[in-house]
């Protein structure tokens, strides 16, 4: 019984194959208006609306699939773009930092050489903290006695003088800024002008006051002040080397009656935004 079924199926398969070959041969050799082509066209016409309807019915599903695919693709592209932006931002910051350090080193080198500070050994340091008080301005830096720093060493930036070392530990130091209100700097107008004492203005950490020692000499807005760096016959010397830029005269108020002339000075260095500083060590021999 089983063998008969197998033979029957094989016979049917052979018949179908032969029929297909005959239809293909007839379709190829037949003219476009032949009966077989007519039947093919009719079947296509009948089934075409069914195919279009099925296509329209399935379009929302296809659109949904395409939307998910495009969304995931766009999300991946956005993540890649964010990564690229983060990398570029990091590279830009590194470049800016390197440029700032290079500029600082160049200006500092010019100040050391042209300002007559070649006898001092510069020690680089960074600011680690600052005093919140307006009455006593100070900062702490990342250099101490182990780096050769000593009490009363001058501290500068590439812009000029910022203060002196007040206290020292092995690895850190406290710097009393020139605006602290409790000290003074012997100064003179650049170009061998009148001399005086620069000190901080209590409650106004961004300004300095110049008290003229040689009061008979004129001083005007725009005059540049540098450290005097004096040494007396008795051996008394200024704490600061000579010719370090300090600031610029921004206002002069004439004396009234018994009051002295008031000279307001703006420091060259931005004392409210200090990051890198340099300590002048080893004396000026």
Banded model confidence at residue 167, pLDDT cuts 50, 70, 90: very high
Is the pLDDT reported for residue 130 higher than 90?
no
Banded model confidence at residue 213, pLDDT cuts 50, 70, 90: low
| Close Cβ partners of 122 (under 8 Å, ≥ 6 residues apart) | 108, 112, 278, 279, 280, 281
Banded model confidence at residue 255, pLDDT cuts 50, 70, 90: low
Residue among 169, 138, 170, 168 nearest 153 (CA): 168
Q: What is the DSSP letter of 125?
A: E
| Close Cβ partners of 24 (under 8 Å, ≥ 6 residues apart) | none
Phi (first) and psi of residue 273, to 5 degrees: -140, 65
Is the pLDDT reported for residue 285 higher than 60?
no
- Domain 121-281: CATH architecture, name and number where available: Beta Barrel (2.40)
Q: For Cα atoms 79, 82, 86, give the angle at the middle one, nearest 5 degrees.
A: 140
Residue among 275, 215, 277, 220 nearest 249 (CA): 220
The pLDDT of residue 277 is 93
Could you give the residue range(s) of every CATH 2.40.10.340 domain in the chain?
A: 121-281
Tell me the pLDDT of the chain averaged across its residues.
76
Is the pLDDT reported for residue 250 higher than 80?
yes
Give the residue ranges of DSSP H helices in the chain: 2-29, 35-114
The pLDDT of residue 241 is 87
Distance CA 70, CA 264 (A): 66
Between 14 and 124, the more confident residue is 124
Lowest mean pLDDT, pick from 36-45, 51-60, 110-119: 36-45
- Helix then strand then coil, in percent of the chain rounded to 5, is 40, 30, 35
Name the pairing type of β-strands 195-201 and 204-212: antiparallel
The pLDDT of residue 166 is 93
The pLDDT of residue 172 is 95
Tokens representing residue 173 in the block = 């130091």
């Amino acid at each position: 019984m089983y063998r008969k079924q197998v033979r029957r199926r094989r016979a049917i398969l052979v018949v179908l194959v032969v029929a297909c070959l005959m239809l293909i041969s007839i379709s190829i050799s037949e003219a476009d208006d032949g009966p077989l082509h007519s039947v093919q066209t009719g079947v296509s016409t009948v089934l075409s609306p069914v195919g279009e309807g099925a296509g329209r019915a399935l379009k929302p599903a296809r659109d949904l699939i395409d939307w998910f695919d495009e969304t995931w693709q766009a999300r991946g592209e956005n993540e890649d773009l964010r990564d690229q932006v983060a990398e570029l931002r990091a590279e830009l910051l590194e470049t800016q930092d390197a440029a700032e350090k290079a500029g600082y080193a160049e200006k500092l080198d010019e100040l050391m050489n042209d300002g007559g500070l070649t006898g001092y050994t510069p020690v680089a340091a960074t600011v680690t903290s600052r005093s919140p008080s307006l009455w006593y301005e100070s900062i702490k830096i990342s250099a101490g006695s182990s780096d050769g720093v000593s009490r009363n060493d001058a501290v500068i930036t590439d812009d000029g003088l910022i203060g002196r070392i007040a206290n020292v530990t092995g690895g850190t130091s406290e710097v009393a800024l020139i605006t602290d209100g409790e000290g003074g700097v012997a100064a003179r107008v650049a170009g061998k002008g009148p001399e005086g004492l620069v000190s901080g203005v209590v409650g106004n950490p961004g300004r300095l006051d110049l008290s003229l020692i040689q009061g008979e000499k004129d001083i005007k807005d725009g005059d540049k002040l540098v450290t005097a760096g004096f040494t007396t016959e008795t051996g008394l010397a200024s704490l600061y080397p000579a010719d370090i830029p300090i600031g610029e005269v921004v206002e002069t108020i004439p004396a009234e009656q018994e009051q002295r002339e008031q000279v307001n000075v703006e420091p060259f260095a931005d004392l409210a935004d200090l990051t890198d500083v340099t300590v002048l060590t080893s004396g000026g021999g």
